[in-house]
Chain A
Amino acid sequence: MKLAYYPGCVARSTGKEYELSTRAVCSALGVELEELEDWNCCGATHCSNELLAVGLAARNLSQTDLPIMASCSICYSNLRIAAKRLEDHQVREKVNSALDKKYSQAEVKHVLEVLAGELMGEENQKKIVVPLKGLKVAPYYGCLLTRPKEGMDSPENPRMLEKLIAALQAEPVNYPYGMLCCGGPIFMAEEDAASESAFRILHSAKAAGADAVVAVCPLCHLMLDAKQRALENRFKEELDIPILYVTQLAGIALGLGPEDLGMEMNSVSPTRLVEEIYERLAAETEC
């Protein structure tokens, strides 16, 4: 399989380990990634002019004939919304008048969809060389992976992460805030509101007994991982729960090493978890 990869702006800075682990896991699975030609920012959640947002996304969508894979949920949602809006003849004509390469059609995927396709199901079980047995993982969907509706999974009751976690032989943890917004889009200007949401998610995942949270978006990851120490100080509660990108979690199961997956870049170190996975695996092999 060959895909056009849309990294998004964050991949080069606060989401570096997401990009690194995305490339490593896709390479291990034989999914060829070709970086989208001269890609631009999608506007994230900060473009109040919706037609302009469609235009920015359309420029990305018109750069390739390959299916486009995004790893950031915000980019992914924006590309999907744009592809939908561009079905409208009037919108397409207006947008195309501003583009060098005209938009005709596009297929948009999220890296989670690609991983699910490559790792779920009986036939893919042999790819899991390091089963994540005994690891309790809280699936964190956030908002835009499944929204707007008609995407890869139900926007109310998605199950794709649970299924992937189970396919990797880890245990999905049930907790109430797996789809609560992390507050990321407003954290710069409205820190109090954003912190409250992020803390609620972490607190509930921890209370449900999770060893780690799995994230599918770099902004969610930033809120839950890079800001975790600040949240601990603010809410006077120890959290200390590693937040793994879905590509890092899958990468461990594929036998990739911490450096392949950028794990030293996580704020809350997942090293202990990985060691425990290998210790359990070793103990089992000895038996």
Chain B
Amino acid sequence: MDAQFKEEVLKLAGDEVKNCIQCGTCSSSCSTAHLMDNSIRKLVRFVLEGMKEEALSSQSIWLCTSCLLCTVRCPRSIRPKSVVAALKHIKEQEGGKNKDQAFEEMFMRQIRDCGRVSEFLLSAGYPLANPMATVQIMTMGIELLPKGKIDFHRDCVRGQDEIKRIFEELKEG
């Protein structure tokens, strides 16, 4: 039982997570549940039992699409999607990098550095972290380029200092 881990998730995702009755409404609403190693209900249980290793190593947290249906339906007003976000956040703080994490990091780094996201730079850079994505990115590029839908120009915000300050001051969550 890792009590510190449990408290950290509750701080990030809300104290009401403790009210979970394990009814499984979240799991049965989830569009990717059938592909998950641990259902979202189980992830919440891992958190409440302080089972840090099991929670953080679950591939399920990377299959969440953030669609919020679990959050809409939870009869105990828990936000299961926020539990997933908290797990991702803790994993990011602890380092380590899988292909899913690499994408989230690249995405957020672009915002921190420029204030906006360039889909072109994201698509160009991501295969370095996940070579498996190369084919689909190339296929997409071939589809979008003749339509004029790839923007090679990077448009950044003027308020760079403010963006940096937001990242710095709110990093604890």
Contact = CB atoms under 8 A, between A and B. Distances in A.
Given A39-B157, A265-B149, A148 B65 contact: no
B148 interface: yes
Contacts of B169: 55, 94, 97-98
Nearest to A177: B31
B169 to A, nearest CB: 4
Nearest to B82: A50
A59 to B, nearest CB: 6
A49 B72 contact: no
Contacts of B132: 191
B119 A13 contact: yes
Given A143-B68, A144-B68, A229-B143, A190 B148 contact: no
A185 B89 contact: no
Interface stretch (A40-48, A162-170, A245-253): A40-48
Contact of A38 (B85, B102, B103, B158): B158
A66 to B, nearest CB: 19
B116 A149 contact: no
B100 A190 contact: yes
A46 B133 contact: no
Most buried by B among A51, A149, A267: A51
B88 interface: yes
Interface in A138-187: 143-144, 147-149, 155-156, 179-181, 183-187
Given A38-B157, A46-B107, A230-B139, A95 B170 contact: yes
A52 B159 contact: no
B67 A59 contact: no
B10 to A, nearest CB: 13
A59 B65 contact: no
Interface stretch (B16-24, B42-50, B160-168): B160-168
Nearest to B79: A148
B69 interface: yes
Contact of B104 (A40, A46, A227, A264): A46
Contact of B151 (A13, A40, A52, A147): A13
B157 A52 contact: no
Given A38-B158, A46-B104, A52-B171, A186 B149 contact: no
Contacts, number: 179
B70 to A, nearest CB: 10
B167 A41 contact: no
User: In which size bucket is the chain A interface?
Assistant: 35 or more
Contact of B126 (A181, A186, A188, A264): A188
A244 to B, nearest CB: 15
Query: What bracket does the count of chain B residues touching chain A fall in?
Result: 35 or more
B88 A40 contact: no
Quick one: which of A14, A39, A44 has the most chain B CB within 10 A? A14
B1 interface: no
A12 interface: yes
B164 to A, nearest CB: 10
Interface in B51-77: 62-69, 71-72
Interface string A229-241: 1100000000000
Interface string A204-231: 0000000000000000000000110110
Given A189-B100, A227-B140, A49 B68 contact: no
Given A40-B163, A52-B166, A14 B133 contact: no
22 contacts: A9-B117, A41-B117, A45-B65, A46-B103, A46-B107, A48-B89, A48-B104, A49-B171, A50-B85, A52-B173, A56-B111, A98-B169, A147-B68, A181-B69, A183-B31, A184-B65, A186-B32, A186-B63, A189-B103, A226-B140, A229-B143, A265-B148
Interface of B: 12, 31-32, 35, 62-69, 71-72, 82, 85-86, 88-89, 92, 99-100, 102-104, 107-108, 110-111, 115-120, 122, 126, 130, 132-133, 136-137, 139-140, 143-144, 147-151, 155, 157-159, 162-163, 165-173
Given A98-B166, A100-B162, 11 more contacts: A9-B117, A9-B118, A16-B149, A48-B92, A52-B173, A144-B68, A148-B68, A156-B72, A180-B31, A186-B32, A190-B62
